[in-house]
Structure 1
Amino acid sequence: MARDLPIGNGNVLMNFDNVYNIRDIYYPLVGQENQSSDQISHFGVWSAEGFFWIDDPEVFTTPAYEEDSLVTRVTCAHKRYGLQFVIQDGVGHSDDIFVRKIMLENSLDKERELRLYFHLDLQLYGNGVGDTIYYDPELRSLIFYKGHRYLSLSCQSGGAKQAAPSGYATGQKRIHGLEGTWRDAEDGRLEGNSIAQGSVDGVIELTVTLPPNGTAEGWFWICFGASREDIGSSEQLVRDRTPGRILEETRLYWVGWANRDAHELSRLAPELAAFYKRCLLTIRTNIDNRGAIVAANDSDILKFARDTYSYMWPRDGALVSHALDRAGVHELSRTFFDFCVKAVTPEGYLMHKYNPDGSAGSSWHPWVDGQGKKQLAIQEDETALVLYTLWHHHRMAGTLAQSAHDYEAFVKPAGDFLAHYRDASGLPLPSYDLWEERYGVMAFTVSAVYAGLKAAAQFADYHGDSVRALYYGDVAAQVRKAADAYLYDGTQGRFVRALYWNYERQTYEPDYTLDMSMYGLFDFGLVDREDPRMSATMELLREKLWVQTPIGGIARYENDYYHQVTQDTGQVPGNPWFICTLWYAEWIIACAATPQMLEEAEALMRWAMKHALPTGILAEQVHPFSGAPLSVSPLTWSHASFVKVTQEYLAALKRLEGAEAGDAMTDASEDAVLRT
């Protein structure tokens, strides 16, 4: 079930499912320690007419965000019970506090008492062993704790002077045949058990009086901390400032953040501009304040592999940070590069992936090859792309004068590694591909290595290291020459995806599979855009990888097995991926000679918007027949790809419209000369 409406502040991240149950609560690191571990935390309403949970089939729900914000606005209605309500949720932009506002509307011509139930099913530190929940009479809150993880759950009716639940219950769940304390709410009366230990959950009740055909509101909030003292301080802050003020300040903060982008978004259709900002905001929710740009935080993927996407892949992070730098959000990119500077090995390479706390993430890359000999369990493009985007970060942020530490601590070891990790042909040695499936010399990786070496040479030149500047530049030229010799097949008139080493024949064998990642050949500058070999390759990729169903979109590569839904690879070479479809849009933009030639790229951008969730959330891929999200959602890289292609689109539009204006002025001048 896709995750939707993520909200957070870089310390706390909360995800909802498609019926607006809370499913993921990450704290104190985004992507690490899911304090709810994919369990459902319920929200319910009791009235004299009946009881329902928010995921009841009779509840009609319209999910949305407040415009340009990370505050939700979810409209719900239960027509048979004559009740409508709007939920607004947000995580304080400067405090680790979740706030929920409930605005209730009565459709019946009589006064009604409603009881609202907020349930939390937690597994602190990511496991349900040894948790404690108790009711704190001083705070009038439910307190969950284990070790250094504390959460409080509180409530208050609109207009009330103090927090005061009308009921509460604690209990055990998923042991001894117990489903959970949430079941206690369904009769509209909580039993009031004040403490439970082990595998636990809890519910608080807020009673609200709703006038005939009138409205009322209620508030809930969750405070996060490392101790009872932390929770007490945060609870006092909420009560002093009021939950309403915290929620409104949070909304205004994100509106300001989303509108700081320096690009001329007014050149875009309003819906494109709004989606661009939504992508930036979604990216922000998946970035930990300590620098990890996390790939995705959808715990539903656990059902398939018992692992998640909640890691920092240096490649994903580099490309996301590059889009952020272009948007002017340099401070987030800076924390990412600080993370990488700390993570780089003494040998100069980055590992497969990392946990948000900086430790090495899980991996399936072996350290021995098919002959039992040592190999590096890395994807070399990850090191290269961090180096490439670091150079552009300093240029765009105007901080090259402050780059000496980066040069010594990261650029030199990484540049030396890229220069040395090559064979006699000049090509990089084999490593795992960006899809993490194959070990060889990949066109995408070679392109990234070339870009990384060029960046290293530019760093060295800036810092007066002339020997290294010349060396890195020479090696980059050698890589390019080798790529021309080995990655292009003249008989087919196009580039190949990869080269694999044949141990018996002691030579490389080409992989002719069409793979959309070959776009990297031009995007990272290894092959000129004007090169007819590149044009032929991109045209073939578009022809063979376009999904021939009403859904459309571009697959990763021919016969892509990941989440494959059909063996009819002629019609569906693979499921359509957002990043792959948007990569082709980048190619169209790069080739456009007139504003009209950008129309195909805009159509692909709108394809991405069309297949997003209604809230603007992009998954990794979509079902080729239904268009439903597949794999994780949201995928940070998908959103960053839309941000980057929009930036490229705007730059091209400005350039081409300017060129047309220049041509018109030239024509007018020539006419004037002829008239005289």
Structure 2
Amino acid sequence: MSNEVKLQEHLRKKPYLVDAIAGNSAMLVSLGQTGRLYRLWWPHIDYPQHVDEIRTGLSLSSMPGGVTWFDSTEAGWQHGANYVPHTNAYRVSSSHPDYPVQVEQTDYAAPGQPLMVRNYRLTYQGTETTDLEFYHYGSFRIAENEFYATTEFRGEHDALLHYRHEYAFAVGSSAECSGYQAGTGTWDAAASGNLNGNEIDMQPDGALKWTFTNIAPGQTVEFPIYIAAGDSRESALAALAHAKSRASNEWFDEMVAYWTNFLANATPCPSEDQAIAELYERSQLAMKLMADEQTGTIVAAPEFDEYFSRCGGYAYSWGRDAAFVTTAFNKAGLGDLSEKFYDWALTAQEPDGSWQQRHYHDGRLAPNWGLQIDEGSSILWGMWEYYVHSGQKQNFLDRVWPAVEKGAAFLVQYLDPETGLPKPSRDLWEEREAEHTYSAAAVFGGLTAAASFARRKGEDELAVAWEQSAQQIAQSIDEHCWNEERGSYYRGIKLTVSKEAYEAAHERGESGVVFQRDKGYWKHILDFDPIVDISLLGLSVPFGAVPIDAPRMKQTADTIQELLTSPKVGGIKRYEDDHYIGGNPWILTTLWLSHYRALQGQYENARELLQFAVNNVTSSGLLPEQVDRNTGETAWVVPLTWSHAMYILAVHFLAEKGELK
């Protein structure tokens, strides 16, 4: 089977875009608007993922045609879905014009338990008594591996057990099943309604059936299906037994109480506008699910492109994203999550003091494109922001100081003696190598933060040295990075390009250098990168290398708004010639400009930019990464943690000025 065919088969089961997430910060699932469960991560929210395909269907003795899969639109099923208010439980209502059963499905993870609950209410709307059969089909690609799986029916537990190596998943219900099948041919058997009772097979597939007899018109059947996880067969079965030991409504009530308490201890939205407040609360709830319960790692988004067919993956922890997210945590009354993240960050620092591009939950380096100097700089800056927010907790200062000292020392030695800017590295979008203006601002912010830490530790000489290095960066930005012709800062200098791009630029009169590097390879570098990019706002917001009201900064912001506003749907693109997923406006970039306008005092514009986010939530109230530039539909990544963080910050920037309506 070719890679393209494999990809298409994969996307049939797991589309790029999802509609919702649910979980408890240790177990995470992604769901569709039909209620189909696409992916399940445990015991961490980034890795590993265990689901190949999970489907749910039913049949009635009074209806021809066998099993109908109601988690699909193909058979005529229609769906309405949204979150249970004030929780991370996702509820889907399914109906069919010709099939007399109304299905209500509620998915949530039990707090503090390795347990996913899928609660079903089946309301029969026919005119004569019938028997109802409910089917649950599961194919578990445990630890993202198609090999070495076993599926087994365990009669004493009335459950299917899927296991491979150190992970196991037990699937069952408090209602006793009436049929089962493990292994080869299970999907076809379930689709035909004829499970054969095979007890065990070295295959990932299995199905269960429940039969409810003599269902009268108007009668409702309610029962849960539990997916219990464990690091052994015994622990998964024990978790399932614990789930069955309580009534399903007790698990639901406990879940509601957990999220009610979570929100009660967070900062309420500072706006009385219903739409703004609802998105604020949903942002708090979503960001909590993106912070790993055990390690504190913050992931950018649930993974959705496992084959790297359109991007490089999102279920990793970036120091840059996390610095914005933790600052939003601070504002939203979730500072404990910030502290937990920075404790985790200590485990991810390299021996030389750097932080690399992105990491797994355990601090190991994730797939990457090389050093981004803004990542570690952002972590240092974010540490200081949390320290100030925390009331300057001494124990936090003492824990992070060794990492701060090593991190700042790395940043200082990474400065280019020729320009005074950080040496070339990848930009924040991970697309090009240069001495980037945004990266320089981030290093300014990191060194300024480190100097502030040093003064608290009584290390005045270090503080002075790091402050001087930071000021040299600010001076170098002023000297080397202004593009008078464009009315904007350069995106960067010393831009590495291909030979073909260099020759084309040379013909246009652009200057640069070519030199031979190792093993006889050649490197082509242009002097300037003149593309206008939203990240140039980072010079002021959040890093403060250039004052908000500096003439050049104001001119840059105006140029950004003029050139990067998407003409059909509004919103702000990342940069002028962006082609990623079609070159759409992003939520976070639009909100970034809102931040700047609020601090600048252009409140009406800041509110308009904020409203763009409010207007472009998904049907379940989450924020995507992008909005299609032609249709206004969700274009990519749901939810993006950074989008929700920038929204929280935009709300507070306006509220703190008394300008949030």
TM-score for the superposition, normalised by structure 2: 0.89
Which of 283, 288, 306 is the equivalent residue of 2:292?
288
Q: Which of 600, 616, 620 is the aligned partner of 1:591?
A: 600
Matched, 1:458 2:430: no
Query: 2:326 is matched by which residue type in structure 1?
Result: S
Deviation for aligned residue 1:224: 0.4
1:538 corresponds in structure 2 to 557
Q: In the alignment, is the contact (CA less than 8 A) between 1:118 and 1:203 conserved in 2?
A: yes
Partner of 1:137: 155
Amino acid at match of 1:55: S
Aligned to 1:153: 171
The superposition leaves residues 585-627 of structure 1 with CA deviations (integer Å, 9 ceiling, x where unpaired) of: 11221122xxxx5343333223223222100222221221123
Change (3 A) 1:483 1:303: closer
Letter in 2 for 1:212: P
Does residue 43 (structure 1) correspond to residue 56 (structure 2)? The answer is yes
1:627 maps to 2:632:
yes
Corresponding pairs, count: 613
- Which amino acid in 2 is paired with 1:331? D
Query: What is the aligned partner in structure 2 of residue 577 from structure 1?
Result: 586
Q: 2:488 is matched by which residue type in structure 1? A: R
1:525 to 534, 541, 544: 544
Aligned-partner Cα distance in 2 for 1:206–1:648:
53
Give 1:41 deviation, angstroms. Answer: 1.0
Equivalent residue for 1:409, pick from 402, 407, 412: 402
Cα deviation, 1:437-478, whole Å, max 9, x if unaligned, reads 111111211111111111111101111111111111111111
Identity %: 28
Shift of the 113–56 alpha-carbon distance from structure 1 to 2, 3 Å rule, reads: farther
Counterpart for residue 520 of structure 2: none
Matched with 2:462 is 468
Alpha-carbon deviation of 1:252?
A: 2.0
Which of 258, 265, 272 is matched with 1:268 structurally? Answer: 272
Change (3 A) 1:302 1:508: closer
Letter of the 1:268 counterpart: E
Query: Which deviates more, 614-623 or 254-263?
Result: 254-263
Q: Deviations over 1:190-246 (max 9, x none)?
A: 222111113x21111122353212322121111100112212321222122222211
- AA aligned to 1:24 is R
Deviation at 1:113, TM superposition (A): 1.9
From 172, 176, 181, give the equivalent of 1:164: 176
Amino acid at match of 2:430: E
Q: What's the secondary structure of 1:32's corresponding residue?
A: coil
Please list, as runs of the form range in 1=range in 2, the aligned pairs for 1:165-244 lying within 5 A after superposition.
165-172=177-184, 181-198=186-203, 200-209=204-213, 210-244=215-249
Shift of 1:118: 1.4
Kept in 1: contact 2:397–2:453 (CA 8 A): no
**Separation in structure 2 between the aligned mates of residue 406 and residue 475 of structure 1, nearest angstrom:** 24
Distance in 1, matches of 2:376 and 2:273, equals 37
For the structure 1 residues 307 and 389, does the alpha-carbon distance in structure 2 shift closer, same or farther, using more than 3 Å as the test? closer
Q: Equivalent residue of 1:52, what SS?
A: coil
C-alpha spacing 1:407/1:15, structure 2 compared with 1 (3 Å)? closer
Contact 2:270/2:655 (8 A) holds in 1: no
Q: Distance in 2 between matches of 1:587 and 1:387?
A: 22
The one-character-per-residue Cα deviations of 1:512-554 (angstroms, maximum 9, x if unpaired) are: 11111111011011111111211111111111111111x2211
Larger CA deviation: 328-337 vs 132-141: 328-337
Q: How does 1:104-115 map to 2 (within 5 A)?
A: 104-115=122-133
Question: Alpha carbons of 1:141 and 1:404: their partners in 2 closer, same or farther (altered >3 Å)?
Answer: same
Query: Match of 1:230, SS?
Result: helix
Q: Which one-letter code corresponds to 2:57 in the other structure? A: G
1:644 corresponds to which residue?
649
Partner of 1:272, secondary structure, is helix
Determine if contact 2:35/2:105 at 8 Å carries over to the other structure: no
Indicate the SS of the match to 2:162. strand
Q: Deviations over 1:264-307 (max 9, x none)?
A: x2533012111111112112222222122111223245261585
Structure-2 residue corresponding to 1:563: 581
Q: Deviations over 1:57-112 (max 9, x none)?
A: 31111110111111111111112112212111110111110111111222223223
- Give the aligned partner of residue 56 of structure 1: 73
Q: Flag the 1:266–1:396 CA change in 2: closer, same or farther, 3 A.
A: closer
- Of residues 232-241 and 136-145 in structure 1, the stretch that sits farther from structure 2 once superposed is 232-241
Q: Provide closer, same or farther for how the CA distance between residues 607 and 486 of structure 1 changes in structure 2, counting only shifts above 3 A.
A: same
Cα distance in 2 for partners of 1:538, 1:266 equals 27
Match of 2:509 in 1: none
1:648 is displaced (CA, Å) by: 1.6
**1:311 matched to 2:316:** yes
The match for 2:412 is 419
Please say which of residues 137-146 and 234-243 is displaced more in the overlay: 234-243
Give how far 1:16 is off.
1.2
| Rounded Cα–Cα distance in structure 1 between residues aligned with 2:580 and 2:267 | 38
Separation in structure 1 between the aligned mates of residue 211 and residue 645 of structure 2, nearest angstrom: 43
Counterpart of 1:605 in structure 2 is: 610
What SS class does the counterpart of residue 196 from structure 2 fall into? coil
Of residues 58-67 and 10-19 in structure 1, the stretch that sits farther from structure 2 once superposed is 10-19
Asked whether the 8 Å contact 2:36–2:55 carries over to 1, the reply is yes
Q: Is the 8 A contact 2:171 2:225 kept in 1?
A: yes
Q: Distance in 1 between matches of 2:457 and 2:557?
A: 38
How far off is 1:24 after superposition? 0.7
* 1:12 counterpart letter in structure 2: M
SS at structure 1 position matched to 2:128: coil
Q: Which moved more, 1:300-309 or 1:377-386?
A: 300-309
Which amino acid in structure 2 is aligned with residue 380 of structure 1?
I
Q: Per-residue deviation at 1:383?
A: 0.6
Amino acid corresponding to residue 636 of structure 1 in structure 2: T
Shift of residue 492, structure 1, vs aligned partner: 4.3
Q: Structure 2: how far apart are the matches of 1:515 and 1:427? A: 18
- Residue 547 (structure 1) aligned with residue 579 (structure 2): no
Deviation at 1:253, TM superposition (A): 0.8
The corresponding residue for 1:70 is: 88
The answer as to whether partners of 1:300 and 1:632 remain within 8 angstroms in 2 is no
Q: Specify the code of the residue in structure 1 equivalent to 2:335.
A: H
3-state SS of paired residue (1:633): coil
Rounded to whole Å, the distance in 2 between the matches of 1:414 and 1:488 is 28
Which of 20, 24, 27 in structure 1 is aligned with 2:35? 20
Residue type matched to 1:481 in 2?
A: Q
Question: Is the CA contact (8 Å cut-off) linking 2:414 and 2:423 kept in structure 1?
Answer: yes
TM-score under structure 1 length normalisation: 0.87
Shift in Å, 1:631: 3.3
Instruction: Report the AA paired with residue 288 of structure 1.
Output: D
Structure 1 position 338, deviation (Å): 1.6
Secondary structure in 2 matching 1:526: coil
Structure 1: distance between partners of 2:270 and 2:584: 34
Encode CA deviations 1:103-136: one digit per residue, 9 max, x unaligned: 1222223223221111111111211111001110
Gaps of at least 5 residues in structure 1 are 157-162, 173-179, 365-376, 565-573, 658-676
Q: 1:56 to 1:193 in 2, by over 3 A?
A: farther
